[in-house]
Amino acid sequence: MDRDNNVLRLIHNEYYQLSSAERKVADYVLEHYEMVQNMSITQLGLECGVADATVSRFCRSLGLNGFSSFKLKIAKYTATTIIEQRESMVNANGTLARYHHIASLSMRAIQETVDVLCHENVERAVLLLEKASRVVCMGSGGGSIIAEECAHLFSTVSNKFSAVVDSHIQASTIALLGSDDLLLLFSYSGSTKNGIFLLELAKSRNVPTILITRFTKSPAGQLADIVLQCGSNESPLQFGSVPARIAQLTLLDVLYQEFYQRNKNECDINIQRIAEALAEHHL
């Protein structure tokens, strides 16, 4: 393994140069490094019982610029370790084992989403979806793709759902929303600047908000009215892994099915109308 990527060795080398508070962070990272790569600085501080500033000092004590640089180091180390493990597995068991492993990651993402699902929050979210005059689905990067999928799925039963993916149009759209509308935001990390800005803007307009994210204690999680947590851990170097998307799609399907069951008669009428309108497009 490349020495530059071995952040655990770096921590061991610098361990006795750290303050007692920084050693708390070091001890936690050494034991839970795979989890740390998916945490925010606030989450890591809470787990270690230290302030955000202590986490920042810990990162600088390792010769890194800050927490973001540290997370990238952790991600590189973890990615290298996983690749080595997978190569070992494939060499021993063949290509079929690799396919099973890929499928197992997606199945695990679905199961983790179900395991962390809060029924009360789902109920509250569906009530907001029902009451809203207009539902705008938004996200950045990979989140914008899920937002479009959300609008497309709900468009089969209602005409009040739409997706907006351009950041400028997102801002102008929210600026014209009111308290009877709804923002449904997809942000896996809950830490993107644009996502936080959109939630703050919606809050200033008294627009209700629902956030679908992996990290409930993220900055965006602290701003949204309702937070729905999806499963699957994604490395900062993956930039939209398939299991992470499947986790969000699973949660999206839960919302859709609950909405449909609560409004079955109206939804069935709309489905029939759409089916008749699309009939001419099929052979």
Kindly report, residue by residue over 216-240, the tens digit of the pLDDT: 878 899 999 999 998 766 555 455 6
Decide: 210 and 184 in contact? Cβ < 8 Å. Answer: yes
Share above pLDDT 90 across residues of the chain, in percent, rounded to a whole number: 58
Which phi and psi angles does 240 have, rounded to 5°?
A: 95, 60
pLDDT tens track for 74-118: 888 877 665 555 555 545 556 777 787 788 888 888 988 898 889
pLDDT reported for residue 14? 84
In terms of Cα–Cα distance, which of 188, 141, 167, 180 is closest to 38?
188
76: tokens are 């590189």
Q: Which residues pair with 136 in a beta bridge?
A: 162, 183
pLDDT per residue over 176-217, tens digit each? 999 999 999 999 888 889 999 999 999 999 999 999 998 887
